[in-house]
Amino acid sequence: MQQRTVVLCLFALASAGCADAPVSPKAVCTTQGLDWAIGKSADEATVFKLRTDSRTGLWRIVTPGQVIRRDQRADRLTIHVDARNTITGLACE
């Protein structure tokens, strides 16, 4: 009986780590106020400022014709660029 209780407790502890962690309010992406970046080159300094201004840790740059996963994430900034690496759009997705 005692061994069964220990096994059940271990299983409960192990499965607790599988639960989704809540997204903190800091991690939610926003594009509000980022219009300044449209038309600028997606260089390291610009992308870093976009990351901090959008309040996100995740980001990606999408080029024309690039195949991307369509998984939606509220904590990821997507930076759309043209063939010359000029920012053409921003989205939280």
**Each residue of 20-50: pLDDT tens digit?**
334 444 568 889 999 999 999 999 999 999 9
Say if 12 falls within a structural domain: no
Q: Is residue 17 part of a domain?
A: no
Supply the pTM of this predicted model. Answer: 0.68
Quote the tokens at residue 13.
């502890």
Give per-residue pLDDT as tens, 45-89.
999 999 999 988 889 999 999 998 878 888 899 999 999 999 999
Quick check: 87 and 80 in contact, CB under 8 A?
yes
CA–CA separation, 31 and 11 (whole Å): 42
The CATH number of whichever domain residue 53 belongs to comes to 3.30.10.10
How far is 61 from 15, CA to CA, in rounded Å? 35
Domain housing 38: 23-92
In a domain, 15, yes or no: no
> Is 69 a member of any domain?
yes
Distance (Å, whole) CA 93 – CA 91: 6
- Cα(21)–Cα(91) distance, integer angstroms: 23
41 falls within a domain: yes
Total domain count, the chain:
1
2 found inside a domain: no
The verdict on residue 27 lying in a domain is yes
